[in-house]
A and B are shown apart, each in its own frame.
Chain A
Amino acid sequence: MHPALSVIFFTVASGAGYGLFILLALAHLLGLGDVDGKTLLWGGLLSLLLITAGLLSSVGHLANPKNAWRAFFRFKTSWLSREGVFAVLFYPFGFCYLLLAWLSDGAVGALTLVLGGVAVLLALITVFCTGMIYGCLKTIRQWNTSLTPTNYLLLGLASGCVVLVLVLLLTGQQADAMAGLGVALLVLAALAKGVYYFWMRTLSGPTINTATGFTRAQVRLLDAGHTAGTFLTDEFGYQAPLNQLFWMKVGVFVFGFVVPVLGLGAVLAGVGGGWFAGLAVVSVFVGVGAERWLFFAEARHVVNLYHGAQRT
């Protein structure tokens, strides 16, 4: 699949935004660290900014955005529609919770608890829906697995956690507990990603033979019937060179997991002040961006079989 920049940005930014919001609210509501009004303000604003920028970029990749409002109508069957509905539902709850928590300078009341709890739930569901948009497609075997939403959830939470550590440090709070949680989430996300990459090598599915129905002989494409590119070749024909895929994968693990874990480790050890946390944030975005690029670049749509691919 063609790795479109707008979709990569959308999933990475909104994933991190929701992850940041979820952990900020949990830290605040469950008392996982001292979170005061200032942390809530900056952390909350940053999460809303990331989420909104992501969602806007996803609308930006539509060819006919004037009908985007209709996307809430097929809630019953479409994961894309569900994602839209939950993303929009999240805003009033998330916003009111943050406002209330900020006004009461971090004190937790019953209303804050309810609003925050609902917002956290909606945020989790939204990220799950984003994963399922891809996970539900039978036409792309590399995505059609429960590992897809798992990865979206884990990477969103892990990258959000790294950002939260920086926010805590910048607002003068204790960040040890969050840094510890961040390391755990990063390790978990790295394991899930590793499992996914290994699983992907074992796949088997439709071939050019089942696609054409000639299952007892070699089938080769003689002529695709067109001289220039078509919508299908533009949208689904993308194929990156193997060594680029390999180096991107190395990048995912180095920038996405190793460097951020080291950065958070430095925070835990109390060296370098906020600098290492800042480095971890930059690195995790580079790493998750590379992960998302690979997610698209390695996905092979079955329609490629009709253009001569022997298997997907």
Chain B
Amino acid sequence: MKLGLVIDLDVCVGCHACAVSCKQWNTSGTTGPLTDYQPYGEDPSGVWFNRIRHYEVGDYPHNKTINFPMSCMHCEQADCVDVCPTGASYKREEDGIVLIDQDKCMGCNYCSWACPYGARELDRESGVMKKCTLCVDRIYDENLAEIDRQPSCVITCPANARHFGDFDDPNSNVSQLTRERSGYQLMPELGYKPTNQYLPPRLTRPVPTDDVKKKSLISSIKEWTNKAIAR
């Protein structure tokens, strides 16, 4: 098996719900806690397995906002595992999930240097490295209903932008989606062969703007006044 995620950049609305639910599930999971530093202080920070960034692609007026969730890609050529000197990092034979044995890690940060996708974060509190587990403590749990045996982020996503499945099976939902929607890998030139695939935005017809009426003098003045006067 080659388990991984498909992320649909066409429909992701950038709500960060996946990251929050990831944190909620995993902080009490096998690699928890996901420590927070000064959660109520001025500069709250902490460990996250999933981060969403926001980009502008193209130039106005042909531009588009792309919300970009990223977590561990469970790479086939996972250098993060090869460079780890203690053997704390490992890739499971049976399903390709990359994990860190919290009892073996010495907190040298070396694996995070080898990861191009920023998927590994050191927990300063416990001094060990942490990363996405693909919810390994959920997906095989037979006490959960079938539908719940998926990563927390996938179930949570309100836009249905995240899909979980086996890429080794050509008929799985993730293989089909990747095929039909031209899914791609990030930074393929580095040769890590990331398992997670990203679906590009669908082509849409541009919204015509030539029939938009020019602004009247009055509305221009109103707009200017609104900007100029501090509330």
A residues whose Cβ falls under 8 Å from a Cβ of B: 1, 61-68, 70-74, 77-81, 84, 133, 136-140, 205-206, 210-214, 217-232, 235-236, 301-303, 306-307
Q: Residue B2 at the A interface, CB < 8 A?
A: no
Name the A residues within 8 Å of B58 (CB-CB). 217-218
Q: Is the C-beta of B170 less than 8 angstroms from some C-beta in chain A?
A: no
- Chain A residues with Cβ below 8 Å from B87 are 70, 73-74
Do the beta carbons of B65 and A64 come within 8 Å of each other? no
Measured CB to CB, the residues of B under 8 A from A are 16, 42-45, 47-48, 51-59, 62, 65-66, 68, 70, 79, 81-88, 103-110, 112-118, 121-122, 124, 126-128, 184-192, 198, 200
Candidates A67, A139, A217; contact of B114 at CB < 8 Å = A139
Other-chain contact of B118, A61, A217, A306 (Cβ < 8 Å): A306
Docked-complex contact B128 and A214, CB < 8 angstroms: no
A158 smallest CB distance to B (angstroms): 27
> Is A81 in contact with B85, judged by CB distance below 8 angstroms?
yes
Which residue of B47, B51, B185, B190 is within 8 Å of A225 (Cβ)? B51
A139–B107 touching, CB < 8 Å? no
From B113, B184, B200, name the one whose CB has the most chain A CB atoms within 10 angstroms: B113
Known: A78-B84, A138-B190, A212-B68. A232 touches B114 (CB 8 A): no
Complex: how many Å from CA A165 to CA B113?
38
Asked if B85 and A138 sit within 8 Å, CB to CB, the answer is: no
Cα-based distance from A102 to B12 in the complex (angstroms): 71
Closest 7 CB pairs of A and B: A63-B107, A63-B127, A64-B127, A228-B43, A81-B85, A64-B107, A67-B106
With A210-B189, A221-B54 known as contacts, the answer to whether A71 contacts B122 (CB < 8 A) is no
Residue pair A71, B113 in contact (C-beta under 8 Å): no
Partner of A211, one of B114, B187, B200: B187
Residues of chain A within 8 A (CB-CB) of B106 are 62-68, 70-71
20 contacts between A and B (CB under 8 A): A62-B106, A63-B122, A63-B124, A64-B105, A67-B107, A70-B104, A71-B86, A133-B110, A138-B190, A139-B113, A210-B187, A214-B55, A218-B56, A225-B51, A230-B45, A230-B48, A232-B121, A235-B109, A303-B117, A306-B53
Contact A302 B190 (CB under 8 A): yes
- List 5 additional contacts besides A71-B85, A78-B84; criterion CB under 8 Å: A64-B105, A71-B106, A74-B87, A139-B190, A306-B68
Which residue of chain B has its CB nearest to the CB of A144? Answer: B190
The answer to whether A229 and B43 touch (CB under 8 A), given A65-B106, A74-B86, is yes
- Minimum CB–CB distance for A16 against chain B, Å: 23
**B104 pairs with A136, CB closer than 8 A:** no
Residues of B with C-beta under 8 A to A228: 42-45
**C-alpha gap A259/B28 in the complex (Å):** 58
Q: How far is the CA of A71 from the CA of B87 in the complex (A)?
A: 8
The residue that B53 contacts in the complex, of A79, A138, A225, A229, with Cβ under 8 A, is A225
Q: Is the CB of A301 within 8 A of B51?
A: no
Residues of A within 8 A of B81 (CB): 77
Closest Cβ–Cβ distance, residue B4 to chain A (whole Å): 16
Q: In chain A, what residue has the closest Cβ to B118?
A: A303
B112/A212 in contact, CB under 8 A? no
- CA distance in complex: A23, B140 (Å): 59
Cα distance A139–B80 when bound, in Å? Answer: 11
Write the nearest CB–CB distance from A201 to chain B, whole angstroms.
Answer: 20
Q: Is the CB of B112 within 8 A of A235?
A: yes
Cα distance, A84 to B106, chains bound together (Å): 14
Chain B nearest CB, measured from A134 CB (Å) = 9
- Least Cβ–Cβ distance between A29 and chain B, in angstroms: 32
Among A136, A205, A225, A307, point to the contact of B52 (Cβ < 8 A). A225
Collect the chain B residues with CB atoms within 8 Å of residue A236's CB: 118
Answer whether A224 and B187 are a contact pair too, CB < 8 Å, given A73-B86, A80-B85: no
Contact of A219 among B55, B108, B189, B200 (CB under 8 A): B55
In the complex, residue of chain B having the shortest beta-carbon distance to the beta carbon of A304: B118
- Nearest B-chain residue to A218, judged by Cβ: B59
A231 touches B43 (CB 8 A): no
* Beta-carbon contact of B121 and A140 below 8 Å: no
- Which residues of chain A come closer than 8 Å to B88, judged between CB atoms? 67, 70
Q: Once bound together, how far apart are the Cα atoms of A77 and B112, in whole Å?
A: 16
Closest to A4 in B: B109
With the chains together, A304 CA to B58 CA distance in Å? Answer: 20
Residues of A contacting B116 in the complex (Cβ-Cβ under 8 angstroms): 138-139, 206, 302-303
A232 touches B57 (CB 8 A): no
| Closest residue of B by beta carbon distance from A230 | B45
Among A80, A84, A227, the one with the most B-chain Cβ atoms within 10 Å of its Cβ is A80
In angstroms, Cα B191 to Cα A63, docked, is 29
**A225 partner residues in chain B, CB cutoff 8 A:** 16, 51-54
Q: How long is the Cα–Cα vector from A235 to B83 in the complex, in angstroms?
A: 17
A227 CB contacts on chain B under 8 angstroms: 43-44
Expressed in whole angstroms, the Cα–Cα distance for A307 and B68 within the complex equals: 12
